[in-house]
Amino acid sequence: MAIDATHDPAQTSWVASAQALGADFPIQNLPFGRIRRAGSAEPWRIGVAIGDQVLDLAAAALAGGWSAEVAALLAPLAAGDLNAVMAQGSAARRVLRSALQAGLKTGSAQQAVLATCLIAQAEVEFSLPCTVHDYTDFYTGIHHATAVGKLFRPDNPLLPNYKWVPIGYHGRASSLVVSGTAIRRPNGQFKLPGTPEGAAPDFGPCRRLDYELELGAYVGRANALGEPVPIGQAEEHLFGVGLFNDWSARDLQAWEYQPLGPFLAKNFGSTVSPWIVTMEALAPFRQPFTRPEGDPQPLPYLDSAANREAGAFDIQLQVRLQTAKMREAGEPAVALMQSNFRDSYWTLAQLLTHHTVNGCNLNPGDLLGSGTQSGPQPGQGGSLLELTGGGKQPITLPNGETRTFLQDGDSVELHAWCEREGTVRIGFGPCAGVILPAP
């Protein structure tokens, strides 16, 4: 994932909003999403974000002016099939990235025709950016794992396997939803505090609803069943990254998770951002992967010189909350915390390699959740469970409202961006959802 001409910070776009201060989608980004005009019955197609616009790749494909190789890559995207391009690997992505950037850069001979292929992002609706047949949620945030572990095991917060194996569980792809989709508070079984041992559990709406700040990595190239992906080849099987909110019903989770792990507490809805930022766009923001002094080094199958040199990513992460009362008063969402993905205990390459080491086959579009990304400092918890000490220490919002867990009408926004001296800032777009009452 080398730096090349597409990362040149001096390069600009004829789409003026791509140069706006703090813009998520400059010409150095070009993430993919599945779009159509809001409220229409138009076919879904893939678009590329540029500034506050979307380049409609169905229209762009018809506009012509592309090489035969690029035209072949645009054909499935015009039909809304991002998975077909994901399956082709990084070489095809680089060809497409270079061609799209050439068409969108200042002075492009294609400006006049491609300008007719733009749609304002405010005028489109999104679906999931690709078809996700399977997803796995990992637990790579060591600061989250430690903070949560302390709530239940103060003297031994991390279980013995945590620093040796990337912990994960298989999720439910059918309940993945795109940003902007409302989430209904789930019903389920739970034990109220003080319930006598052996008494029947209660049933009803979740009382401890929470969010989880995560990244989701999307698989590109598939591997065959029975054929593990070595760590040195893992990134060739990764397409890109988006934001991921794994909504969690903490009271249901506490009652049901033993002995087999998460179930109904997790599968009532998980929200992804509409855009996938490609691995190529993230290349300038790589950094060395290191372990704290005294911690064990990964086993050989999870270790490589390339992963040590540049397997981690410098991605800023933030959670914002807007209550119903704030919305009615016209008050914007407020930031609750901020952390960085560089603090993840495992890299994306390690997650993919471990997932396949037993021969498990991954397919284009499969989603790998990172687990909650908390920071090392107080106030950097990636969930309300951490920020409120398990619900015992309410947080006070600027308007005087307090929260231990989410209430109906609350809207949660996840944001992420990368910025480094000598580069152009890129962002991921929002990942948002509002809580509706239980059915």
Catalytic residues: 144
- The first and second tokens of residue 409, run together, are 């009408």
On the CB side of 347, how many CA atoms lie within 13 Å of its CA?
Answer: 28
94 burial via Cβ count (<10 Å: 0-12, 13-18, 19+): middle
- The first and second tokens of residue 62, run together, are 């018809």
Separation of alpha carbons 322 and 171, rounded Å: 28
Separation of alpha carbons 177 and 341, rounded Å: 23
- The first and second tokens of residue 378, run together, are 């107080």
Nearest-5° Cα angle at 139, 137 to 141: 130
DSSP for residue 397 = -
CB burial of 410-420 (b: ≥16 within 10 Å; e: otherwise) equals bbbbbbbbbee
For 395, phi then psi, to 5°, come to -95, 145
Q: Is the previous residue joined to 259 through a cis bond, with omega within 30 degrees of 0?
A: yes
The total of other beta-carbon atoms located within 10 Å of residue 348's CB is 25
Q: Is 282 left (phi over 0), alpha (psi -120 to 50) or beta?
A: alpha
Separation of alpha carbons 395 and 333, rounded Å: 15
**Helix, strand or coil for residue 136?**
strand
